[in-house]
């Protein structure tokens, strides 16, 4: 009995690359690997940020930290650790290089395609909100500096890529070694939703917003995953993720996943919080977003099935 338990523990251990097991055991093993990578990266990332701030003369352990954009930008630096941790784990434990995760050098231009899709989706969402009276476009702001925009753009490039590497590049492609694409996509979506719920109080914003926000998180995760699979690379998902966040937060000046944004380049006036514009959580908890993401997801699901190999490469 004890030997069987020990053998089971060794089999599902995230510290080895054993795949000779049932699908259920394999899923548990990969989820444990994800928790390991995420946990280590969170600790190391926090340590790096604290170390840098201390070297700059601040005392983060006692609440003495920089104000404004600098502190926001520093927090993005920790995301790089998450991407690096996933790459290192896949290389050392799973014996897979970045190309196996979908980071193929020849397909880097697909990043632009993903960014273009983000522009199109957010344009549709903004138009829906304006036509329904959920918000209105008031003009342009002259308060946002070019330097800050450039810095935040690259910060969001890092953040979006890191999330895609750990979620789609590492977890989804790992699951695809034994699971079908739909199964891997849905498990990945569940993890993606949980990660985002950990960082915001979406459940405390009202049942309607919570349900809509969770549905939208599911839809965007499915879109990221299917784009990576159909286009056979991770760059397109990285581009969509990064540009989506940058446009919402810095260009449109709208709350991003419950995180309050400062003034953006464009001035949008949210007349009254409602289920169309997503209220305090932002557009991502609104029905306008659900409509745009839902149609996109249906198109991708109905598209010719490609990339249904073990991975996205």
Contact 249, 261 (CB under 8 A): yes
Question: What is the structure's pLDDT at 32?
Answer: 97
pLDDT level of residue 305 (50, 70, 90 thresholds): low
Name the average pLDDT for the chain: 89
Q: Where are the domains of the chain?
A: 2-302
pLDDT value for 129: 94
Q: Determine the Cα–Cα distance for residues 246 and 156; give it in Å rounded to an integer.
A: 6
What is the rounded distance in angstroms from the CA atom of residue 133 to the CA atom of residue 150?
A: 32
pTM: 0.91
Residues 184-195: what's their mean pLDDT?
95
The pLDDT value recorded for residue 244 is: 96
pLDDT in tens, 21-67: 999 999 999 999 999 999 999 999 888 888 888 888 888 877 777 77
pLDDT, tens digit, for every residue of 226-270?
999 999 999 999 999 999 999 998 899 887 776 667 678 888 888
What number of helices (H) and strands (E) belong to the chain? 10, 2
What does the pLDDT read at residue 308?
52
d(CA 243, CA 239): 6
């Amino acid at each position: 009995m004890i030997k069987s338990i020990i053998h089971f523990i060794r089999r599902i251990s995230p510290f080895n690359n054993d795949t000779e097991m049932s699908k259920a055991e394999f899923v548990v093993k990969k989820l444990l690997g994800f928790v390991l990578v995420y946990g280590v990266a969170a600790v190391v990332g926090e340590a790096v940020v604290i170390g840098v701030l201390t070297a700059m003369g601040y005392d983060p352990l006692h609440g003495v930290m920089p104000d404004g954009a600098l502190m926001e930008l520093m927090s993005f630096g920790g995301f790089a650790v998450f991407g690096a941790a996933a790459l290192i784990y896949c290389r050392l434990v799973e014996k897979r290089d970045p190309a196996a995760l979908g980071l193929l050098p020849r397909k880097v231009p697909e990043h632009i395609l993903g960014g273009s899709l983000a522009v199109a989706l957010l344009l549709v969402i903004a138009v829906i909100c304006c036509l329904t009276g959920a918000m209105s476009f008031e003009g342009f702001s002259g308060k946002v500096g070019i330097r800050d925009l450039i810095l935040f753009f690259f910060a969001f490039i890092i953040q979006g890529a890191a999330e895609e590497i750990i979620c789609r590049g590492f977890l989804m492609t790992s699951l695809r070694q034994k699971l079908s694409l739909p199964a891997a996509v849905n498990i990945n979506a569940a993890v993606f939703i949980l990660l985002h719920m950990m960082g915001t109080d979406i459940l405390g914003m009202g049942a309607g917003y919570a349900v809509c926000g969770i549905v939208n998180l599911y839809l965007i995760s499915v879109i990221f995953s299917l784009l990576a699979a159909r286009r056979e690379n991770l760059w397109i998902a990285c581009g969509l993720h990064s540009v989506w966040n940058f446009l919402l937060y810095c260009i449109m000046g709208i709350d991003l996943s419950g995180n309050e944004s400062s003034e953006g380049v464009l001035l949008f006036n949210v007349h009254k919080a409602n289920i169309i514009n997503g209220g305090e959580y932002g557009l991502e908890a609104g029905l306008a977003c659900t409509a745009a993401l839902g149609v996109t997801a249906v198109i991708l699901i109905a598209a010719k099935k490609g990339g249904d190999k073990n991975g996205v490469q």
